[in-house]
A and B are shown apart, each in its own frame.
Chain A
Amino acid sequence: MADVIFSSWQGEVIDNRGVAADAKSPAKVKLLDEFHPGQPIKAFVGWDGIVLRDDDVDIVGLCARYAEAVQSESCGKCFPCRVGTKIVSDILNRIASGEGRTGDIDKIKELAPSIRDGSKCSIGQTGLVPILHALEHFPKAFSEAVVGRKRSPEINYRYSVTAPCVSVCPSALDIPRYLEEISEQRFTQSLATIRKSICFPGTLGRVCVRPCESSCRRANVDESLSIKYLKRFVADYEIDTSRHQEIPAAPKTGKKVAVIGAGPAGVSCANYLIQMGHQPTIFERHPEPGGMAAMGIPDYRLPRNILHREVKLVQELGVDIRYGVKIGEDIPFAKLREDYDAVFIGVGAQGSMPMGVEGEDQNYRGFISGVKYLEDINKGIDPYPEGKKVVVVGGGNVAIDCVRSSFRVGKPDVNLVYRRTKAEMPADPVEITDAEDEEVKFHYLCNPTKIIAKDGKVVGVELIRMELGEPDQSGRRRPVPVKGSEFVIDADIVVPAIGQQLDFSFLTEADGVKATKRNTVGADAEIFETSQPGVFSAGDCVTGPDVLVRATGNGKRAAEKIDLYLTGNKVESSQNENFRNLFATLGVYNDKEHIGMIGGEHKAHLPMLDALVRKWNFDEVEDGYTTDVAIKEASRCLRCYRIGMIAL
């Protein structure tokens, strides 16, 4: 950033005070220019230092406000932070009010390092870091404030709490809190904390791609926390002990919302709408809920009763789900707009993406799209009983689910064809390992060129060898065909699983909902509203095939926007969302951070069924944590909460 006057962010000290505009040194730290349209960020104070972009900002006042924020966010569970930050905050407030006393600054200098080094969690460990930076780099401002009894001007500031894991969670789950609640044996409370952000704890506790674990600071010490499995633990605990905590009903607003699709986005949206007092009705074309989570995820990873129970809990809050109703066929979209105060589109992306190879449009028996293949298996149907040798094409989670499910319907010979190498595969590495353990045959660096059939039935697939060239847009090296390297492998089932796309058949031109160039529903990334007022959309139908946790998160955020719309407020991003954007730009997790701990406490793994036994049935592969293991695992959390404050 070029417009920095002073920065001490992450150990890089940039001091452009009094430096001519053209001679200013740039800083590595990145901030947004504006917090909200028309609100430029003048300064940022946080866990790793201070960034000033405007001469106006009074550093003494800023520090006083920050210390106050730290004290008000202190959980009270350790002495240095609970009492220590109160004392520092009181002193700074005194100085900023023009009532500073001799010795005040020395007192802070004496106490703050002990609070930093001795506090239990990151609130105390980082809370006084920027204040120590300020005392070091702006000593004059502080001493003048004390000696001159200078009163700091009012500051227009905002602050927010984040954590590395929370900052990357698409559902903005309060992870450190629910982990701490587990470590303190408040399992029910922990689940309630999770349910504030997602209504699928048992589901996500099994299948989440867990971006949080990739941004877990504990990984800088030994291994990341098992955030996903701990979520599963509390969800399972509720079922195990037959205890369900009811969510109190909100006063009714009388507003009706039509939700299309009972997938993760739609159910999540409806769940939070009803908790705000609105009345959502979900229309689902399938006879069961869950969308891609039900159709696309096999039972050995996500037992159906888990997903169904979580949807049932949402129904118990009063959400009506109408199964077997196809919008566009049974009820026109326009009718929904007439009958409801708002509409949410959460139809997902369940259409198959063509591979563009010869023979794929010939309706050969044995040529089955990945989504259809899984849908059949998940309904308990063998998609093609005659077929024994399966070739699945693709490298994502759907492809992996297809190969692993194949064993489970009794296919003895299961192959996966992927055009790049294992290193580039987008599927969850854990899933890849599990598939390897189950003895799926992987064929890397090949791509289909032709489906070979005889008498209308698939008998094989022609592949061509690939090599990796220059990196493409995604950053992965682009696969390039090796001329003349075609070869054929026998197969009687070929399953393309290279991606999905949206099926727009529920809309007509006249409905006016615009699509994007990528053939997804055009909805604003911040407010989820489509080109039609009162029509909102989120989930895979907006993003294209994406992870469950983003669909649930965006479903909830969309519900908040629909609430603004229904209550006649301006539909705009919230302060929390603005902070999330700011934190995303800044980067909360620093994988280079040296934490200075030996650690030595490894992640607790789940007991698993034996690979060569489990591959033939749909029993859930992994068993959950026992209570003692969950408590121990959760206690590894470093509780990396941190506070970011901006001056406007």
Chain B
Amino acid sequence: MIRLTIDGKEVVTEEGRTILEAARENGIYIPTFCFHEKLLPIGSCRLCLVDVDGYDKPMTSCTTPALDGNNVTTQSDHLFRMRQQFLQLILTSHPLDCPQCDKGGECQLQNISYEHKIEKTEYEAVRIDHKEAYPTPLIHYWESRCVLCGRCFHACREISGREAIDIVGNGFESRIAAVNKDDCISCGECLSVCPVGALTETLSPVKSRIWQSERIDTTCPHCGFGCQLTLNVLDGKTITKVVTEKNLPPNNDSLCVRGRFGYDFVNAEERIGAPYRNLDGQKKTVSNEDALAFTAESLKKLSAAGKGTGFVVSPRATNEEIYLVSRIAASLNNSRVASAASYHTGKAAAAFAQMGISPLYDYEKIQTCQTIVVAGADLLINNHLVANKVREAVKLHGARIVSIDPLDNSLARISSAHLQPLPGQDAAVFNALSGRLLKDGRYSKDAETLEGFAGIKQSLEALSAEAPVGIDAALFDKAYKLIADAENVCVIFGSGITGNEEGLKALLNFSILKGLPQKGLVMPVALQANALGAVSLIENMAATEELLENADIASIFFYEDDPFQYLNGGMVKTSLAAKEFVAVCDILPTFVMDSAGVVVPSAAFAEKEGSFISGNGSLGAVNKACKGPSAGFDFLNALLGRLGKKTYASAAAVTEEIRLSGLLEKDGNGAERLAVKAGKLSFATGGASVPENADAFQLIFRDIFKNHHLADRGIYSKGASSVQSDALRISPVDARELGLSSGDVVVLTADAGETACPVVVKNGIRKGVLECVLFSKHNEMLSISSRMAKTIGVTLRKA
């Protein structure tokens, strides 16, 4: 610790801090403008100038290290005058169009000019507005308002790891421009850090100023990272933008494109307003009471007849809704509850439980790891914020990354080794890594005492510890060295791993051998907002197709779920036709509604009260921002009553009951999270065999489990759809061999059929592998395969 004096007050701070940090820690105010906590100091505005004894000139406190014995003056007439002058310079190139600027009322330039008593602009200079397009259509760049503070392009690089925008030109002609448009992922970090109204969102047709709006904090409904965000709501009904400014964990004001711009489905015109029944191929609007009575009677009748009832509940429904569904199921005979959470989170959780690994983890632990392994997960599409945390570890702590993925992924460009096994061969990679750790004696010695060590040792010794076939040996050696040399390792894996049991076991065995999770972190990405909640609340969870294919299940109730999004649509349709009763509760038209006898409206996340359990186990509040009934919850609650069970006064009452069941606990900071008893670590047996890949191509689906509220039967989020779309991508090598170039139409054939779509040639994809990103064409693309799988074998020809 070091001691210094700021404005006559003696303060203590850690070595390595800047003067600004030391002052802030001690409650001393220094005006800043370009400085942003999430970015390395920029030093463009010069407003945080302070006088420090020993320096001839005033120094920017954001970049000057605090040294033991410094004597700092933050306020003086001279400094005030300099700050005023620099503000005058900022204002020289800034139009005073505050009345019509989106940022009015929450503009840092307004505030700081006011604070420095700027009464008029002193200087003038003419500036040209180039009116160039910004790299994303979701953001408008007002060049004349831009003061070139530099936050936006620093955020683009530092937070998102992209290089889409930059400062171009010299002197007064400098401006922000799209230097690499294709690199933009529309994450909106630039928008979020802009201190003035130079960047504004273009999505909402209605705008509202801060004083006209209500701001409601909630948890993001898309992936399971658990981002905290704030909805800006006008008149209690229209979301006009999403803001993040409270620096709350886990995302600390960062968001991805969906979190920031994927809110507009809430206000979509296609929202289902009233219940209806499908009678003789016609939709017939019915009253709530009719829908409720019909559903209750149908379920009761089938239950009484001893027939099975299935429930498919969305892993994006709240804990409270999932709990009600499971209560309803419990009241019926022969019922099962399924969820799409079973495909990834369910499998990971089961493997964790079996091997005694706690499913709780702390995202911040990534910062303590020297080597970060990312396997079978594209953090660009899902859990983008995890990628941000990894980048932070690289930027601030010099961490190195090993990517294990046949496809390009968002971290590949900064990975020290990108190993590209064929899909399904991840087990070979992890076994070889484990084998070499054993051979070199560089595994965690604690592992020796664990159950299954002898077995795993024996089986690994029988395998090769060299790079598996098809993996570059030098790259494998490099990856191994990075892992072996690291004290702490973080392993992040996605559905590319959980899709293959052998691969998952091999990965977890490797993790335990390396001493994880004690010395580091092993974490699955969380695909859906409440996947862990669904997995924790639903006992004996089934996979959706188990219910569909089970002839004993005579009725199915879909709660905010559309199986056409992740299963073969033809199969779903046929299965549902054989059911005696199908009900759907959702907010927007979905494919499964065609097969439903009754459809009832639900509420969007912004209209609900409740909670999600994020991937790290923490409980995030879902708060009601828009007026209107919580249709889905109310329907479930009433249905429970009709079935003769206890109903609840509110969602909060359900939460309380969940709490009482012992599912939740308080962490050290008083925040609620999933309660988990630590198990006894052990190795998994197996994890050695590697499946053969006979097909010409292995096609990997990306984003099967995206939030179907963005797009299903129609496009419901203009925000997300304006920058994301379906795509089929092929490696340049394969493209050359097949004589394909980007835009060519190809025909894909798998065991259940074929489909034609255009192809894009992309670097970074392994030969023999195709990447199929799904956005709105799930139904079309999944129709070619009979089974639910992340990866399928296909043949491909030019159309």
Residues of chain A whose beta carbon lies under 8 Å from any beta carbon of chain B? 71-80, 82-87, 90, 110-111, 114, 117-120, 183-186, 240-243, 594-598, 600-601, 626-629, 631, 635
Contacts and interface: CB of A to CB of B under 8 A. Distances in A.
Contacts of B216: none
B390 to A, nearest CB: 12
Given A77-B44, A184-B154, 19 more contacts: A74-B170, A75-B174, A76-B172, A77-B150, A78-B43, A79-B46, A80-B46, A80-B89, A86-B125, A86-B172, A110-B85, A118-B49, A120-B60, A240-B400, A242-B418, A242-B475, A626-B398, A628-B395, A635-B40
Interface stretch (B276-284, B408-416, B494-502, B769-777): B408-416
Nearest to A118: B46
B280 to A, nearest CB: 62
Contacts of B167: 75-77
Interface residues of B, number: 55
Nearest to A630: B398
Nearest to B41: A635
A119 B46 contact: yes
B413 A243 contact: yes
Contacts of B415: 241
Interface string B49-73: 1001011111110010101001000
B123 A631 contact: no
A83 B90 contact: yes
A75 B85 CA distance: 20
Contacts of A80: 46, 85-86, 89
Nearest to A125: B57
Contact of A79 (B45, B125, B163, B414): B45
22 contacts: A71-B172, A73-B170, A76-B173, A77-B148, A79-B45, A83-B90, A84-B89, A114-B82, A117-B57, A118-B58, A120-B44, A120-B60, A183-B40, A240-B400, A243-B413, A595-B56, A596-B56, A601-B65, A626-B400, A627-B399, A628-B395, A631-B395
A76 B125 contact: no
B796 interface: no
Contacts of B398: 626-629
Contact of B92 (A71, A74, A75, A87): A87
B176 to A, nearest CB: 10
A200 to B, nearest CB: 22
A120 B46 CA distance: 8
A417 to B, nearest CB: 41
A240 B416 contact: yes
A242 B70 CA distance: 45
A631 B392 CA distance: 13
Contact of B396 (A87, A597, A628): A628
A357 B90 CA distance: 73
Nearest to B396: A628
Given A78-B44, A598-B55, A628-B397, A241 B416 contact: yes
User: Most B CB atoms within 10 A — which of A83, A119, A243?
Assistant: A83
B64 to A, nearest CB: 9
Nearest to B59: A597
Contacts of A635: 40, 63
Which residue, of B49, B70, B89, B170, has the highest number of chain A Cβ atoms within 10 A? B89
A72 B55 contact: no
A73 B398 CA distance: 33
A596 B55 CA distance: 5
The 7 closest A-B pairs by CB, nearest first: A596-B56, A76-B174, A626-B398, A86-B172, A83-B89, A628-B398, A74-B171
A480 B400 CA distance: 56
A83 B148 CA distance: 10
Contacts of B395: 185, 627-628, 631
Interface in B76-98: 82, 85-86, 89-90, 92-93
B751 to A, nearest CB: 36
Contacts of A78: 43-46
A596 B125 contact: no
Contacts of A111: 85
Contacts of B441: none
B764 to A, nearest CB: 10
A71 B93 CA distance: 15
B147 interface: yes
Contacts, number: 137
A243 B418 CA distance: 11
B157 A186 contact: yes
B552 interface: no
A600 B170 contact: no
B745 interface: no
A217 to B, nearest CB: 14
Given A86-B172, A186-B157, A626-B398, A631 B55 contact: no
B43 A120 contact: yes
A278 B123 CA distance: 51
A150 to B, nearest CB: 24
Contact of B171 (A72, A184, A240): A72
B394 interface: yes
B169 to A, nearest CB: 7
B158 interface: yes
Contact of A241 (B42, B70, B158, B413): B413
A622 to B, nearest CB: 16
Contacts of B86: 79-80, 114, 118
A85 B171 contact: yes
Contacts of A184: 154, 157
B93 A118 contact: no
Interface in B396-452: 396-400, 413-416, 418
A362 to B, nearest CB: 47
Given A114-B86, A185-B157, A596-B57, A75 B170 contact: yes
A87 B123 contact: yes
Nearest to A601: B65
B398 to A, nearest CB: 3
Choose among B59, B150, B171 the residue with the greatest number of A CB atoms under 10 Å from its CB: B171
Nearest to A600: B67
A590 to B, nearest CB: 15
A82 B65 contact: no
A118 B150 contact: no
Contacts of A627: 394-395, 398-399
Nearest to B52: A598
Given A77-B44, A241-B416, A82 B174 contact: yes
Contact of B172 (A83, A600, A628): A83
Q: Which of A82, A85, A110, A186 has the most chain B CB within a 10 Å cutoff? A: A82
A184 B41 CA distance: 10
A343 to B, nearest CB: 39
A86 B82 contact: no
A83 B92 contact: yes
Which of B55, B123, B415 has the most CB atoms of chain A within a 10 A radius of its CB? B123
A79 B171 contact: no
Given A87-B125, A600-B67, A118 B171 contact: no
B393 to A, nearest CB: 9
A631 B171 contact: no
Contacts of B85: 80, 110-111, 114, 118
Given A185-B158, A241-B414, A79 B89 contact: yes
Contacts of B60: 120
B90 A79 contact: yes
A515 to B, nearest CB: 46
Contacts of B394: 627-628
Contacts of A75: 167, 170, 174
A629 B90 CA distance: 33
A184 B152 CA distance: 13
B663 to A, nearest CB: 40
A350 B310 CA distance: 85
Interface in B8-62: 40, 42-46, 49, 52, 54-60
Nearest to A110: B85
Nearest to A183: B40
Nearest to B169: A76
Contacts of A594: 56
